[in-house]
Amino acid sequence: MPEGDTLRRAAEVLTPVLEGQVVTDLWFKKLRGYRPRVGDTIHSVEAVGKYLLIEFDRKLVLHTHLGMSGSWRTSGLDRPVLRDPKLRIVIETPLGRALCFAAPDISTHIAGSGTAPADRLGPDLSNDDVDLDVVIANSRARATETTTLAELLLDQLVAAGVGNVFKSEALFVAGLHPFVLVSAMTDDQLRKLWSIAHRQLVANRATPYRSTTGRGNEGRTHVYGRHRFACRRCDNSIDFSAAGERTARSTYWCPSCQPAQG
């Protein structure tokens, strides 16, 4: 499931093939906006939150959001392009190809116009330095009387990068129940929660697998994907709320380590 850490790794993989190179071939499926051209120079490849941004000539920026199952890959020019039904983008340069699969949101925008989805995002938690004062202010401004912590963490206009995995994992480490109201939290509690999410995203930027339980625990999580398994901390059974029950996305938590208030 692509989150901020996944996009950072994708940008690192694509940069050697694309950045500073002239486009020799292009193919898009379901692109909204102006098309880049063969002969354009690619000026930058950047990850911002859950978006991957590729800037071409004329300040034209390609935005891709990978949704639940999208991905970016590279391949050599000596390999044929497989016409996979999930293939959405092919960008070819003298150094290789960049291939995007299954991305549900592909569009182009003019850099600095303010019309791109990424222009409206909150601070990117995958960055080394994040202004948590801005994140807390955004939390207060965006949350309504019924907004829960689980919903807040996924609001990319508050802070960018957290997806469903890090949502559940940050809440567990913070010891907070996912369905506590934001209005019941102090600023210090929110700062702690967002700080944990920031540390988890940064720690996973350069790893080939995602782990929130420490180095050497490949693919391990505290609660995410572990419904009915024993909590790694207290041995109680992990609880689960399916997508659409209490929030739009599924949520995992330990009822002992993350007790509900009241």
Q: Answer yes or no: 50 catalytic.
A: yes
Determine the Cα–Cα distance for residues 202 and 194; give it in Å rounded to an integer: 12
Q: Answer yes or no: 37 catalytic.
A: no
Instruction: At 236, list the tokens.
Output: 């109680």
Of 8, 50, 192, 210, the active-site residue reads 50
Decide the pairing of beta strands 87-93 and 96-101.
antiparallel
User: Strand, coil or helix: what is 55?
Assistant: strand
- The answer to whether 212 touches 185, Cβ cutoff 8 Å, is no
Instruction: At 117, list the tokens.
Output: 């989805």
Q: CA 122: distance to chain centroid?
A: 12
CA distances to 35, 70, 169 from 138, in Å: 34, 28, 21
Of 2, 36, 123, 178, the active-site residue reads 2
Q: Answer yes or no: 140 catalytic.
A: no
Of 3, 19, 46, 55, the active-site residue reads 3
Of 8, 97, 192, 249, the active-site residue reads 249
Determine the Cα–Cα distance for residues 38 and 44; give it in Å rounded to an integer: 16
Q: Answer yes or no: 2 catalytic.
A: yes
Which residues are designated catalytic?
2-3, 50, 249
